[in-house]
Amino acid sequence: MDKTIHVGIIGGSANNQWASSTHIPALQRLRKFKITAIGTTRMESAEKSASLYGVPYAFADSNELSQHPDVDMVIVSVKVPGHCDAVIAALNAGKHVYCEWPLGLNTSQAIDMNHLASEKKVHTAVGLQARQSPEVSFVKDLVTEGYIGKVLSCHLKVFSTAKGGTTNEASKYLLNQSNGANLLTINAGHAIDALCYILGDFKELSATTANQIKQAKVQETGEMIEKTTADQILINGTLKSEATASIHVQGGITFRTGVSLEIYGTEGTILLSNDSTHAQFQWGDFKVEGMKIANQKNSSSLAELSIPDQYRWVPDTIPNGPIFNVAQALEKFGVDILEGTHYVPNFEDAVQLHVLLDLIQKAADTGERQVL
């Protein structure tokens, strides 16, 4: 392979709000990549999108896209129920794969995809891009370097206006438990992955979930649809470091939305936060604040900490917002492919998170504390 990675995007339609606002503009600005193929469910939309983005090949069949010789890497950016078939096709074609999170509709699918990727000896990445957030990476290093001493506890809050009593046509599938994309897997999943990336894995946990809002109104039509997903998720547990953790994730609220991760140590405190209404940890744009106990005599409040430039590795042409961390992840995945490294979370990491979320659900369903 030469130094340019040729990319095919399954779900690359201009009508796909996620791919068209993140993957496509990010890849167009990253020198390691060239988009060579667009795949959608209809040839008409595939050709239209390919023409719009100046991409040479269009496909209505994900297998054909993956088998094309001018595709080295495949991005799977479709709804979760379509992930497995698209990923399997790409892996069987011997292509490197970047798949959005959740990797599979369930843990069994994720395990199957990971096993096949190992057999094919290709590089994989899963869209847990919060790990590539400059703020998250900075906080991880602060903790590792002992900025707050020994970590005693943490509290994670994720409060979203979405996934409650109102939705839109494009997002209503997120309220159907059978689709695998919901408050637990998306909002909680991304945030818990970041928490564990910073502080280490859970040793044991308990959980409560509740679906308190049984119906949702579709904004465009006024239709009331059944909602089968949880809008309240509460978790408490102990990390392998012996630090305690408490987590509250809720959807469908309108006041004090956003995400925050408070980390308390023997020598200080760190707060990572934003006030996003969608409360998507992976979208970044955090403020990082800290305080050391030794300095408390001078101030009892947290002070904002500047993020060093070393935590940004994409061009200045990449704007802030959801695209930024996607671009950070893609850039590092390009390094992994070209140099054989492992910077970004891969399918094995995805399986680990799938298993953790299963245990959270089991804890909630049974009322029994789960030991990992």
The rounded distance, in Å, linking the Cα atoms of 124 and 367 is 35
User: Which one, of 103, 116, 128, lies nearest residue 180 by Cα?
Assistant: 103
Assess whether the region 5-122 and the region 131-309+354-366 belong to the same CATH fold. no
Q: What are the tens digits of pLDDT across the range 280-292?
A: 999 999 999 999 9
List, for residues 71-100, the tens digit of each pLDDT value. 999 999 999 999 999 999 999 999 999 999
Comparing 8-17, 51-60, 317-326, 330-339, which segment has the lowest mean pLDDT?
Answer: 8-17
155-168 CB burial, b ≥16 within 10 A, e <16: bbbbbbbbbbbebe
Strand positions, DSSP E, 326-371: 370-371
pLDDT at 294 over 90: no
Instruction: Phi first, then psi: give them for residue 97, nearest 5 degrees.
Output: -135, 130
Instruction: Give Cα 315 distance to the centre of its chain.
Output: 21
Pairing status of strand 268-274 against strand 287-292: antiparallel
β-sheet bridge partners, residue 224: 217
C-alpha angle 291-295-301 in degrees, rounded to nearest 5: 45
Mean per-residue pLDDT, 171-185? 96
**In CATH, what is the architecture of 5-122?**
3-Layer(aba) Sandwich (3.40)
pLDDT tens track for 114-150: 999 999 999 999 999 999 999 999 999 999 999 999 9
The residues facing 237 across adjacent strands are 205, 245
Task: Please tell me the distance from the alpha carbon of residue 97 to that of residue 87, in angstroms, as a whole number.
Answer: 7
Residues 14 and 32: their CA atoms lie apart, in Å, by 22
Write down the domain spans for the chain.
Answer: 5-122, 131-309+354-366
Q: How many CB atoms lie within 10 A of CB 289?
A: 16
More confident residue, 355 or 278: 355
Q: What is the pLDDT of residue 106?
A: 98
State both tokens at 204: 């044991």
Q: Is the pLDDT of residue 364 over 80?
A: yes
**pLDDT tens digits for 222-281?**
999 999 999 999 999 999 999 999 999 999 998 889 999 999 999 999 999 999 888 999
Are 153 and 244 in contact by the 8 Å Cβ rule? The answer is yes
For the domain made up of 131-309+354-366, give the CATH fold. Dihydrodipicolinate Reductase; domain 2 (3.30.360)
Which token pair is 50?
């390919």
Q: Which residues contact 274 (CB under 8 A, 6 or more apart)?
A: 258, 259, 260, 284, 285, 286, 287
pLDDT value at residue 16: 78
- The DSSP result for 104-154, as a single string, is SSSHHHHHHHHHHHHHHT--EEES-GGGG-HHHHHHHHHHHTTTTSSEEEE
